[in-house]
């Protein structure tokens, strides 16, 4: 995290810069810390009080950042987790997505593996309806007669507790090392949460299916790792390709209550905007529906909206070039890649900020904090964007996460 700290001076202006004593080059676009932030007066007062008392009371404060591929890799959320746990206590790694079991990418600070066979998956992008959607935006299943094991490793966050999310008709899993098991009794939708606990902390455990146990199904949605101490959980849930319309479903938002979030950070909008047929009215409808569902199912949860980072449309055009003479002529295909700035991301960002004020929730305009269409040139020059000009590399995502982190910290300290 020392590598991140040098960017705070570059990325904030005004009062923050005078406090930090930093200087900026006039040649580079200057991302603004204000007015990129909105929240109603006193919106985070109760959350700040709960955070400050968490370590003393042993209470766990849950924060969930929900998003798309920008979030699934885990780099954007990592700075917020590190900063808040350093200030308010480390309650654990939190949500562990079993992405690798269906062949997708996952954060690198934990590892999930499985033995014996391939899992059957369903994603929130295209739910088939065979199984209810899980809180991670996916669901994994296998035949109930199969014997299997799932290995969970998280070296950076030793844990004494593990909460396993499964359907009520699926059998609880045992563990090695052996744990105390408290099966879930009350369901949220189709899911229950089993609690496994150990007297000493571990960084690696194996979950096993029961030998000879008869169950109706074997359907699992992931797990949560707990340190056994009071503090904060900062959890990241992301699905590559996800948009607001994918999450804005009552049966999904209901599942979020399993994580008991006191703060829900919604970091979406790139995939909503990444189409030539974009219509701001359709996007607004999905956003409004999501906010309405969160308020219905999670009435005590604070909401923070973040706008999407700048992106580009990537276009490839091909033509043939003839070289040589007579019999030695050769036709060679030449492909040219061009990039066109995604103006829809600006429209999405404006709508998110407008909607936040309308509904009285918090919002951070990451798009303009990064400099928008002008400022993104410096990010490209520093090699922070991937070649598709939609995604970012690790350092780029960590810098975005630092922008969000600084904004959240500032909101928590304002009286």
Cα 309 from Cα 306, distance rounded (Å): 9
Give the per-residue pLDDT at 145: 80
Give the per-residue pLDDT at 32: 52
CA distances from 268 to 8, 197, 265, 286, 307 (A): 23, 34, 9, 11, 7
**Is residue 38 helix, strand or coil?**
strand
* Residue 196 phi, psi (nearest 5): -110, 135
Give the per-residue pLDDT at 34: 57
Lay out the sheet containing 60-67: strands in order across.
37-38, 362-364, 302-306, 263-267, 60-67, 231-238
Strand partners, 194: 164
Helix 394-413 to helix 45-57 angle (10° resolution) is 100
Structural class in CATH, domain 1-90+230-415? alpha beta
Going 402 to 406 to 408 to 412, the CA torsion angle's sign is: positive
Domain boundaries, given as residue ranges, for the chain: 1-90+230-415, 92-228
Say if CB 93 and CB 236 are below 8 A apart.
Answer: no
Query: Which tokens hold the place of 30?
Result: 């200057």
Give the pLDDT of the chain (415 residues) as one tens digit per residue: 333 433 333 443 333 333 333 333 333 444 555 569 999 999 999 999 999 999 889 999 999 999 999 999 999 999 999 999 999 999 999 999 999 999 999 999 999 999 866 799 999 998 777 899 999 999 999 988 888 999 999 999 999 999 999 999 999 999 999 999 999 988 898 999 999 999 999 999 999 997 656 678 999 999 999 999 999 999 999 999 999 999 999 999 999 999 999 999 999 999 999 998 999 999 999 999 999 999 999 999 999 999 999 999 988 767 677 776 666 677 777 778 899 999 999 999 999 999 999 999 999 999 999 999 999 999 999 999 999 999 999 999 999 999 999 999 999 997 5
- Determine whether domain 92-228 maps to CATH 2.60.120.1360: yes
Q: Which residue has the tokens 């780099």?
A: 75
Give the per-residue pLDDT at 211: 66
- The DSSP secondary structure of 4-29, one letter per residue, reads HHHHHHHH--THHHHHHT----TTS-
User: Would you put residue 74 in left (φ > 0), alpha (ψ -120 to 50) or beta?
Assistant: left
Predicted TM-score of the model (pTM): 0.88
Strand partners, 341: 312
* Residue 26 phi, psi (nearest 5): -70, -15
Say if CB 126 and CB 120 are below 8 A apart.
Answer: no
CA distances from 147 to 102, 117, 195, 212 (A): 18, 9, 21, 9
């Amino acid at each position: 995290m020392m590598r991140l700290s040098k960017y705070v001076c570059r990325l904030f202006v005004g009062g923050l810069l005078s406090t930090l004593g930093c200087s900026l080059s006039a040649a580079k676009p200057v991302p603004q810390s204000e007015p990129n932030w909105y929240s109603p007066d006193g919106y985070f007062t109760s959350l700040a009080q709960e955070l400050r008392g968490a370590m003393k009371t042993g209470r766990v404060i849950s924060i969930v950042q929900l998003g798309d591929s920008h979030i699934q890799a885990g780099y954007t959320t990592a700075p917020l987790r590190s900063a808040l746990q350093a200030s308010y206590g480390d309650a654990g790694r939190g949500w562990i997505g079993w992405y690798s079991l269906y062949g997708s990418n996952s954060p690198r600070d934990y590892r999930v593996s499985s033995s014996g066979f391939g899992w059957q998956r369903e994603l929130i992008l295209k739910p088939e309806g065979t199984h209810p959607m899980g809180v991670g935006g996916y669901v994994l299943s296998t035949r109930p007669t199969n014997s299997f094991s799932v290995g969970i490793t998280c070296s950076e966050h030793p844990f004494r507790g593990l909460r396993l999310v499964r359907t009520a008709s699926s059998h609880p899993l045992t563990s090695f090392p052996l744990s105390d098991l408290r099966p879930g009794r009350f369901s949220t939708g189709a899911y229950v949460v089993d609690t496994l606990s150990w007297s000493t902390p571990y960084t690696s455990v194996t979950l096993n299916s029961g030998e000879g146990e008869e169950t109706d199904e074997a359907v699992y949605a992931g797990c949560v790792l707990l340190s056994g101490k009071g503090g904060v959980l900062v959890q990241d849930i992301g699905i590559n390709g996800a948009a607001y319309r994918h999450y804005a479903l009552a049966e999904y938002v209901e599942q979020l209550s399993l994580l008991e979030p006191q703060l829900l950070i919604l970091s979406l909008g790139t995939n909503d905007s990444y189409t030539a047929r974009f219509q701001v009215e359709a996007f607004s409808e999905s956003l409004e529906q999501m906010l309405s569902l969160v308020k219905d199912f999670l009435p005590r949860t604070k909401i923070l909206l973040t706008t999407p980072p700048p992106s580009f449309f990537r276009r490839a055009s091909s033509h043939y070039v003839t070289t040589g003479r007579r019999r030695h002529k050769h036709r060679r295909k030449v492909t040219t890649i061009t990039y066109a700035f995604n103006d829809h991301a600006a429209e999405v960002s404006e709508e998110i900020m407008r909607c936040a004020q309308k509904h009285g929730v918090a919002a951070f305009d990451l798009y303009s904090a990064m400099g928008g269409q002008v400022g993104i040139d410096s990010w490209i020059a520093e090699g922070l964007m991937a070649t598709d000009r939609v995604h970012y590399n690790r350092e780029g995502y960590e810098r975005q996460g630092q922008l969000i982190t600084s904004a959240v910290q500032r909101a928590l300290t304002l009286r």
